[in-house]
Amino acid sequence: MEENHDKWWDKWDKAAAGFDFINGGVELRFGEEKAEWFSQATGTTLLVAIGTGLDIPYFKDDQHIIGLDISMKMLEKARAKEVGHKRVDLVRADVQELGFADNSIDTVVTSCTFCSVPDPVLGLKELRRVLKPGGRLLMFEHVRSDIFWMGPMMDLLTKVSRRFGPDLNRRTKENVLKAGFKLTREVNLYLDMVKLFEAIKEI
């Protein structure tokens, strides 16, 4: 991974300090749904873009989690949350270029991840590669709305939001399909903007 002074993930290192404060509202609003969704994870589970670890409490206590993120500052915050008897291994990695072997992971979980990965289809293809055949991808993601005025507004806002954080106009369902997954469930949690997706790598 190239190290230089203008790394594309600098914005995430900068966001780490205030991240829990800014994102506390998301956990308050959607924590229950996330806990129910993520507790379905089985076996070795890759939590992609773990950030500061806000999602760790949503997993079963004996769940083996590999939490990866591109930002070392985010991972430092996550380390402080490895509480209880949860088995969490933290790894600094780019989801677009994973070092894991093919067919080695039982479940992949993402949480506001594919609003942030520069090339989402490339990242999703990597996840499909490392998932075992029949393995599940469980996602909690915000996406571009198809409501007639909301979508164009999200396109406009993204020009600013991506300088400091996520894109607001990602078409994540389409990207999951482009990466070769079979979509098995889609649940709207808030309008058509905050969603749960379940997809599988077909055998």
Ligand X SMILES: C[S@@+](CC[C@H](N)C(=O)[O-])C[C@H]1O[C@@H](n2cnc3c(N)ncnc32)[C@H](O)[C@@H]1O
Q: What single letter denotes the amino acid at residue 176? A: V
Query: Which of residues 23 and 40 has its CB atom nearest to ligand X in the complex?
Result: 23
Contact 37, 31 (CB under 8 A): no
Task: Show the tokens assigned to 44.
Answer: 């070795």
> Is 54 a binder of ligand X (CB under 6 A)?
yes
Please report whether residue 108 would count as binding ligand X according to CB under 6 A: no
Q: Does 130 bind ligand X (CB under 6 A)?
A: no
Length reported for the chain: 203
Answer whether 49's CB lies under 8 Å from 108's CB.
no
Site for ligand X contains 112 (CB under 6 A): yes
Tell me if 95 contacts ligand X by CB under 6 A.
yes
Contact region for ligand X (CB under 6 A) — 35-43, 106-114, 125-133, 170-178? 106-114
- Regarding 141 and contact with ligand X (CB under 6 A), the answer is no
Q: Check if the beta carbon of residue 44 is closer than 8 Å to that of residue 66.
A: yes
| Closest to 19 in 3D by CA, of 166, 177, 183 | 166
Residue in 166, 175, 197, 199 binding ligand X, rule: CB under 6 A:
166
Q: How far apart are CA 173 and CA 126, in angstroms?
A: 16
Task: Determine, following the binding rule CB under 6 A, whether residue 71 of this chain makes contact with ligand X.
Answer: yes
Between 45 and 111, name the residue whose CB sits nearer to ligand X: 111
